[in-house]
Chains A and B, each alone.
Chain A
Amino acid sequence: MTVVDVLPGVGRRLLAGSTDGRLDTHLARYARPPRLDGVQLVGLLRDAGLTGRGGAGFPTWRKVEAVLGASGVPVVVGNGSEGEPASGKDRALMAYQPHLVLDGLQIVAGAVGARQAYLYVAAASAVGVRAALGDRRGAGLDPVPVSVVVAPERFVAGEESAVVNAVAGRAAVPSDKRVRVTEAGVGGAPTLVQNVETLAHLALIARFGPHWFREAGTAEEPGTFLATVGGAVGVPGVVEAGYGVRLGDLVDAAGGPAERLQAVLVGGYHGGWVPALPELAVSRAGLAPYGASPGAGIVVALPVGVCGLVETARIAGYLAGEVAGQCGPCVNGLPRLATTLTDLAHRRGRAGLGREVDAVREVERLSLLVSGRGACRHPDGSVRMIRSAMRTFDADVAAHLAGRCVAEEAR
């Protein structure tokens, strides 16, 4: 994974300075992490406006406050599992700046009074973070002990309740949400699960304060985020930018378009397809008209010669294969959605459906049928991506129904 320079005027934060991942380099730049109590931390996070970088974009202070208000000794988990195939930012962050993540984990663990913390990571990160933890132990940096738990390479393994289950030694599959993990998670303890990038921002906010944090991004969506920019770009990789960055600038930071682009998948496989408009602001506000959001910072560029419906059907097939096998509507509905999309992508009418135009209605019907009907948001996220494709690629849908393909003709 290459790191290319961030945009002019934004300034790198998480990826600033040396990215050799060494503790001495980290301490020389940042010194030891400060200690904060719960009230101080909640106040700082609220003033900074930090939101979760794991996809949902939930205000971090609210979760910290919920854990503080719950009864029992809390447990804190850093979530670096990054099961999303198009994402590489969490692995990059843990390779380049593991100590910012681990500082963040200690700061929150200390502030909420946890006696045990966990770092839940992809196999690729395990060796590195174990070495980093060893160095920190030698320097007496980690008053709260941290256990490393390796995540299985499954899409849903990073979902909050799946994380709790994995850390507790069970299978990494989601649980029913009647009780929130902030009330009862690992071993019944109030549990705070935060994405590793969120923790790294937190470590900087604890040092430099909310005003500094708000110097990047927009007033409503402050701070920077790590973006994994891939697809048809010159130098696919991880870049850092403030929220509200122009889509074109983000793509240029990753080497620019490798071919003429038609659309971009923002937010990953649970995200949304948007037209490849360079001036589009990558922020919740900027992407809302397209039913998309920055999510976990994934940007996949689609060139004009590749059919968006074929790509969408491929992703839907992948997502259908990643269902955790627990919830009837999801287990039955996502594969049906995927086959319907595959038929549409390959311009096949489906036996029993009569006219091909029914494929469009069938996608919409199945989308409504699976939404909200699972223990986790996997069906909802999958449907968000699929419905955005039906809107953004509406000309392709019309062409396919007429037996033609726009992308094929553009090649």
Chain B
Amino acid sequence: MSENRLHIDWTACDGRGLCAELLSEILVEDEWGYPLARDGAVEPAVPRALQKNAKRAVDRCPALALRLVNS
């Protein structure tokens, strides 16, 4: 099974919303700048077509707060 969910380590995330820009199909910024899943999920699903974008967001998160995990 591929790693198809996005996990956010809230203790690390500093909320500058970079991921919401890089992965706008899945995430939006909340009113404080923290990533919020569009579908409201705690660990939003990452469809196959968005895997590459998601990996890029994970790699570029300055706080190392994002991970792709198995559901």
Interface residues of A (CB under 8 A from B): 174-176, 178, 326-330, 332-333, 368-369, 372-375
* A175–B42 CB distance below 8 A: no
Given A329-B34, A332-B32, the answer on whether A176 and B12 have CB atoms closer than 8 Å is yes
CB of A175 within 8 A of CB of B11, answer yes
Q: Is the CB of B11 within 8 A of A176?
A: yes
Q: Give the chain B neighbours of A328 by CB distance below 8 A.
A: 10, 13-15, 32-34
A373 engages B10 (CB within 8 Å): yes
List residues of chain B with CB under 8 Å of any chain A CB: 7-15, 30, 32-34, 36, 40, 42, 67, 69
* Chain B proximity of A330: nearest CB distance (Å): 7
Write 15 A-B pairs (CB below 8 A) sorted by A numbering.
Answer: A175-B11, A176-B9, A176-B10, A176-B11, A178-B67, A326-B11, A328-B33, A329-B32, A330-B10, A332-B32, A333-B32, A373-B8, A373-B34, A373-B42, A374-B10
Partner of A178 from the list B7, B32, B42 (CB cut-off 8 Å) is B7
A374's closest neighbor in chain B, by CB?
Answer: B10
* A174, A326, A330 — most chain B CB neighbours (10 Å): A326
By beta carbon, the residue of chain A nearest B14 is A328
In-complex Cβ contact of A329 among B9, B30, B69 (8 A): B30
Q: Within the assembled complex, what's the spacing in Å between the Cα atoms of A372 and B8?
A: 11
Question: B10 touching A178 by the CB < 8 A rule?
Answer: no
B34:A368 contact, CB within 8 angstroms:
no
From B8, B12, B13, B40, A368 is in contact (CB under 8 Å) with: B40
Of B11, B30, B33, B36, the residue contacting A327 (CB under 8 A) is: B11
Inter-chain CA distance A37–B13, complex, in Å, is 43
Complex CA gap A175/B65 in Å reads: 12
Q: Which A residues are CB-close (under 8 A) to B36?
A: 369, 373
Contacts of B40 in A (CB 8 A): 368
